[in-house]
Structure 1
Amino acid sequence: MARLLWLDTHGVEPAPAQVAVFAAGLAHWWGVHQDSHLAFVARLLGPEIVGMAWIALVPRVPRPGAASRMSADIQSVFVTVESRGQGIGSALVEAASEYAARRGSLRVTVSSGRKAVPVYERLGFESSRQLLQRLPR
């Protein structure tokens, strides 16, 4: 997964040493956040991971009649260039979304790059006027 996150960020194959250093940091981060973040991965015939999608689940403030509410956010969806166009990314997003629903999330959000918006729309995601963001000043 460290290699895929590197590829997604830099777009070039990293040196093994770079992956090793980043993987150690990722492992530490995931250890700290394992209660809120889960990774879904895809493999084809071999052991190499060709795609991933993360889901972040965060408890929401309880409401009367709804003591256990969750927010879910899909993050860091990436499929290697060679494996794109086979439905892998869509399958990962579907699996993460279904997991979030089973955990009690009433909705799943995603912050998408412009090119991926049609993919998410095909999967049932819609723009929402109620979901706003504020960037740091």
Structure 2
Amino acid sequence: MIEVRAARPEEFEAVAALRWRWVAERDGPPPGVDRGRFVREFAVWAREHATTHRCLVLVREGAVIGMGFLAITPRVPAPQSFSRTSGDVQCVYVVPEARDAGLGGRLIDGLLELAVELGVERVTVHSSSRAVRAYERHGFAVSPLLLQKVVLFRPRR
């Protein structure tokens, strides 16, 4: 049986290991970064940011095989509502051996259901080219009004 559910605090190390695996799969292992340290620090970060970055996991037979985050950002109040939020889907990942079985779609659906539960007005995603069609199948569409600018990013160590 496979389930999509909120990550439990004790599962954040497994989530961190998936994040490491994803980056290593895409770009190779990050040079000069200790995997164990990353996993520990990511788990602490995930616990500290659990209210703004809701994590869902995909679990099969007790093992975390996928993850996804909904980052929640407050929006400027409007006359109709002072409590407004936007969501951003981040870090949706399924282990390669479980891909192409609709499991990523289950994570996307779970994140969108969570957004509805939280009253989020809009959900965005910055997708890999491989996943664009999956997001489109789950209701995402290109918006000519949503612009982005990539800025130089220097990771803090």
TM-score (norm 2): 0.79
1:63-109, Cα deviation, whole Å (9 max, x unpaired): 10121111000000000011111211101111111111111111110
Equivalent of residue 63 in structure 1, options 73, 78, 91: 78
Q: CA deviation at 1:19?
A: 4.2
- Separation in 2 of the partners of 1:107 and 1:39? 18
Written as runs of structure 1 = structure 2, the 5 A alignment for 1:81-120 is 81-120=96-135
Q: CA deviation at 1:27?
A: 1.8
Question: Counterpart of 1:121 in structure 2: which amino acid?
Answer: E
Q: Is the Cα contact below 8 Å between 1:68 and 1:104 reproduced in 2? A: no
> How many pairs are equivalent?
133
Equivalent of residue 40 in structure 2, options 15, 24, 42: 24
Q: Equivalent residue for 1:47?
A: 62
- Separation in 1 of the partners of 2:75 and 2:57? 27
Question: Are positions 1:124 and 2:139 aligned together?
Answer: yes
Q: Equivalent residue for 2:17?
A: 3
- Separation in 2 of the partners of 1:115 and 1:134? 21
Sequence identity of aligned pairs in percent?
36
Q: Equivalent residue for 2:94?
A: 79
Which consecutive residues of structure 2, in runs of 5 or more, have no partner in the other structure? 1-14, 153-157
Moved over 4 A (4+): none
User: What SS does the corresponding residue of 2:43 show, helix, strand or coil?
Assistant: helix
- Separation in 1 of the partners of 2:35 and 2:108? 25
Q: CA deviation at 1:31?
A: 3.0
Which consecutive residues of structure 1, in runs of 5 or more, have no partner in the other structure? none
